[in-house]
Copies of this chain bind each other. A is one copy, B any other.
């Protein structure tokens, strides 16, 4: 199987072409796809198998998870190793910028009105 030569979701191709040309919009466009940030988050520190990732992403369906993994792989943020999916050097670099959001969220979420997060 040509694992990387498939027509897999171009970053802007689908219809989600949106950016105003700024690089940040390219990144936002990628990260704002479902589960993209969650995948990066869960891959930080240790490689994970497809199943493992699926479990950790709660309700991610295998089809979307697979699509997202291909996309992230096609832009070089993750790779598929013998140990499972893992962040590449670039991916770890991006994660370093994402990580502070975790701490921020930990302080922020409890301040939300219950109806906004009601779980």
Residues in A lying within 8 Å of B, measured CB to CB:
5-6, 8-13, 17-21, 23-28, 31-34, 36-38, 41, 56-60, 74-76, 90, 93-94, 97-98, 100-102, 104-106, 108-113, 115-119
Contacts and interface: CB of A to CB of B under 8 A. Distances in A.
| Interface secondary structure of A, over-half rule | helix
A119 B23 contact: no
B119 A6 contact: yes
Contact of A94 (B19, B21, B24, B104): B104
A56 B21 CA distance: 11
Contacts of A23: 102, 105-106, 108-110
6 contacts: A26-B112, A27-B101, A27-B104, A75-B116, A90-B111, A97-B100
Contacts of A5: 58-59
Contacts of A36: 32
Contact of A21 (B18, B33, B119): B119
